[in-house]
Structure 1
């Protein structure tokens, strides 16, 4: 059953076009995460679903009902904000049951709903405490509990973990995923943190300048981005991009040469290329290999900086005449991610390599033109 349906949604603020022809269907029980850079429209879209923003055009349906013109309280949604927004003079139990009290629900129903939410969120021992006596993670759980007690058709989360420290964010990611599995409810979650998106979502919606760039399962989007924007946005460290031109083309094959002499042959492209076409080669940091004589494509550079992260090592390599793109200004630094800890000295010479099958090729307009890569089944 379809839980949320967005049809040709538009949103204008005067001359500013915040949402552009947004079409999205979310099935019942999905955990959908919306990501994108600041100003992409993800929070505006969430608030439009909630009814906190009106649409300039289009139709919004929740559980089959047209709610486009309905007030937030009539839409069957509950929203959890970045700010906990708890009443400091109320206990945890009173905060969690506040919405039901305002709806004049029977006392027994309120107590049962609060008890159920407290059990799910492991807050039974905190019910008589005031918010100031709780940790940040506990306060966020209370805010989520307030939403649970309303038994909504759809849960909306607007960057709920951004105020927490790194350890608490990790803990709350696990708790929210567990909560979704237990409730089986439809959840729509907005974040700027791609790690949250990759680890929590059943599907990710990538937005850019008010448009949906791509929708899909996390690994599908990571392995098979439809364009250069999605490829560069998903992944930390981000994908390395190098500008090049097609020097040979035959059927679905092409040879690409980049500035500095990097020469890569591509097979099974999804469309034919022509000699002289401008393209961009992409390779993820974890697919670059250091000092590996078996790599089919190799070039040299020198270590500029090394970051030791315990479980992995990030090496920034100055590749001289090779210029990476995809940012405001070009640079000749490649990012390499190694799944162990190895010592490197700044300035030391290294060889970088990769296999063409691991590389991506993007057309001049940013479209991915390499054949889709296999995705491991989970």
Structure 2
């Protein structure tokens, strides 16, 4: 945190660093005395641009006081070379020069100067300009550190969120163990998102699958996804989808901020008996593709999870024989806009699903076609899960 003097209200400059570059020793001493009187803690000197560039690398100043007319390398050339290095592109350079013609001043700024004072030195003006640029430098540095810290924390949170997803190594074993092949895609519209899907083992070799999409985006939606996952330990998915949805809804509702909710679908995959039992709350309609039949939409209507207490849900059942496939998804697939501001909608997604169901990796094929029309980044979080009864 930048230190502020309680008496003057000015920023404490004791940790700032100023590099003075001037071929005249009296000028260097005068500027050093002025800068020292402000409380600047570290000062270095250079006699020309060549020495100045070397000092920039070793001293790493917060501000350069630069003369223009110097031997070996003048201030113009030094500024140009300094600005070519991305590390010093934003370093404030205060030119202290006897040049007075407008054209000469413009040349200073074109070379990369940040500001200018004209010789002979006016002490109050130099002090004021040096303080402004050092305080700005400190503020920018503080802001950059804050952004870097936030970015690191968001990256860690994103990793935590992705760690809640099913383990890809476990998913790869399912074709051999239960005859189920799963492809999935999970993308957030920002660092964090409100989409969430979960798969776990149940009794009798059944699998319980949850797909949820919380309202909103970013951190608030992600926090709700974490809340939902935490509730799974207290209310583990059971064999009665409607009953479990009702219990989960009553547990989640008090935890959500006002006006927030989730679309959700909970399905029990019974691969032995070629059957899926499920309950839903306002979720996008999954696309069911049975062998020899046209794709159709499954009913995923119902009350949003967390929208109201004591909501009732209905358990529905479908046949899921060998060769059958289902596409589960969040609404980014149907509601994102293309360059003409048109949505894919359910009908368009069904066409993509139909064209992809014969592929070895149908979801990868579908997403390739989708991204050609709706290239990322998307405005909403996107989750897509392709289930295929591949048989044992």
Point out which structure has higher relative CO (alpha carbons under 8 A, 6+ apart): 1
Say which one has the larger Rg: 2
* Higher relative helix content: 2
Same fold (TM over 0.5): no
TM-score by length of 1: 0.23
* Higher relative strand content: 1
